[in-house]
A = this chain, B = another copy of it.
Amino acid sequence: MKVYHSDLHALHAPAFEIFDGGEKIPSFETPERVECILQALRADGRFEILPPEQWSLDPIRAVHDEGYLTFLETAFTDWMREPTDYEKTALLPSTFALSRRAGRVPASILGRAGYYMMDLSAPIVAGTWQAALASAHCALSAARLISSLRSAVQTSVSAFALCRPPGHHAGRAFCGGYCYINNAAVAAHWLTQFGNVALLDVDYHAANGTQDIFYERADVLTLSIHADPAEEYPYYWGYADETGAGEGKGYHQNFPLPFGVDDTTYLKTLERALERIATYRPAFLVLSAGMDIYGQDPLGRIRVTTAGIAEIGRQIAALALPTVVVLEGGYHNAALGTNLLAFLEAFHAA
């Protein structure tokens, strides 16, 4: 299977995030995550690791707000220019635009930061923009590959975008939860030029960014299976009754799960999501693959096993759709490679 990966991810490595209660702690989302996965893919031998192609900003602009992208690109430099009486390591504001009004973006860098950032776990460092772009380019390259092979081969093929930073918490105009550019959304939108797309998110956390981006669209069916946001991050999106709006009414579906669910319950829920996808009959599938559903994940509280993850992969692969698998979360580094190999096992490579 072809895997798109860029070394530029390592330019983004914030030293900290802030947890509830206010302590700075080392970020869970580290460059080591990618190293662990690469090691497993290389040891397996069936993966061809490729650099992403070069892309213009257009496919990213198609799903993100222009002002937001300018902010991401310039925020760190602007902040470095600001005189402050504290040491600057990673840009993180202390004031947030609760109930923000579109278009009322403050001039100051810290005001802009609080306007575009939803939490304390997406600090911006010098290399964030470059790493986030390269991550999106991996997803786009995988999308181009599967779209180009679709008519040439009998079996639907899949490709894997080893994206870092992840993307599914990034909305049209906000970052959060380790995410800056929504890689899966960028790939999904790009694929709509060839046909409808289903975007299924199996990360432990609700795909609030993806939901935000496609909420009023019917040409991308979005579905997310995740821990109940009433009890878990990202809290403010991902509820079962949020089903899309306007033209997108009925084209978004959330499957919130209580803490502690096991393989059986997870797979039953997945079955419902896959039925919806089958009804929709998309030309492509984009998969937001977070490995933090794994029972031992330090940030997760549901109990899926490696065998369960393999079965989830099998069930999704059985849709037999050209598929872009996009990496999202997963923070149990020692098991990350094993779980990802198990997940990818059933997908057809080019």
- Complex interface: chain B residues within 8 A of A89 (CB): 21
Of the listed residues A87, A90, A114, the one surrounded by the most CB atoms of chain B closer than 10 A to its CB is: A114
- Which of chain A's residues 56-108 have a Cβ closer than 8 Å to chain B? 84, 86-101, 104, 106-108
Closest to A228 in B: B107
| Copies of this chain in the oligomer | 2
For chain A, the count of residues having a C-beta within 8 Å of the partner chain is 52
Q: In the bound complex, do residue A119 and residue B104 qualify as a contact, i.e. CB atoms below 8 Å apart? A: no
Q: In the bound complex, do residue A118 and residue B94 qualify as a contact, i.e. CB atoms below 8 Å apart? A: no
- Which of chain A's residues 239-297 have a Cβ closer than 8 Å to chain B? 239
A118 CB to closest chain B CB (Å) equals: 4
Q: Known: A23-B86, A229-B106. Contact between A234 and B95, CB under 8 A?
A: yes
A84 CB to closest chain B CB (Å) equals: 7
Q: In the bound complex, do residue B100 and residue A20 qualify as a contact, i.e. CB atoms below 8 Å apart? A: no
Of the listed residues A88, A90, A115, A118, the one surrounded by the most CB atoms of chain B closer than 10 A to its CB is: A118
Of the listed residues A19, A22, A107, the one surrounded by the most CB atoms of chain B closer than 10 A to its CB is: A22
- Complex interface: chain B residues within 8 A of A239 (CB): 104
- Complex interface: chain B residues within 8 A of A104 (CB): 236, 239
Which residue of B86, B90, B95 contacts A233 across the interface (Cβ within 8 Å)? B95
Q: Known: A98-B174, A100-B236, A236-B111. Contact between A93 and B231, CB under 8 A?
A: no
Q: In the bound complex, do residue B92 and residue A22 qualify as a contact, i.e. CB atoms below 8 Å apart? A: yes
Asked if A110 is at the interface (CB within 8 A of a chain B CB), the reply is yes
Asked if A123 is at the interface (CB within 8 A of a chain B CB), the reply is yes
Q: Known: A24-B22, A86-B19, A235-B115. Contact between A120 and B95, CB under 8 A?
A: yes
Closest to A15 in B: B22
Asked if A47 is at the interface (CB within 8 A of a chain B CB), the reply is no
- Complex interface: chain B residues within 8 A of A22 (CB): 16, 18, 24, 90, 92, 94, 120, 123
Which residue of B19, B95, B98 contacts A94 across the interface (Cβ within 8 Å)? B19
Q: How far is the CA of A113 from the CA of B235 in the complex (A)?
A: 10
Q: In the bound complex, do residue A110 and residue B20 qualify as a contact, i.e. CB atoms below 8 Å apart? A: yes
Asked if A216 is at the interface (CB within 8 A of a chain B CB), the reply is no
Q: In the bound complex, do residue A236 and residue B106 qualify as a contact, i.e. CB atoms below 8 Å apart? A: yes
Q: Known: A106-B231, A107-B230. Contact between A96 and B98, CB under 8 A?
A: yes
A177 CB to closest chain B CB (Å) equals: 8
Since A97-B236, A106-B236, A111-B230 are in contact, a sample of 16 more A-B pairs with Cβ atoms closer than 8 Å, ordered by chain A residue number, is A18-B22, A19-B94, A20-B84, A20-B92, A21-B84, A94-B120, A95-B121, A95-B233, A95-B234, A96-B96, A98-B100, A98-B174, A99-B99, A104-B239, A108-B230, A115-B235
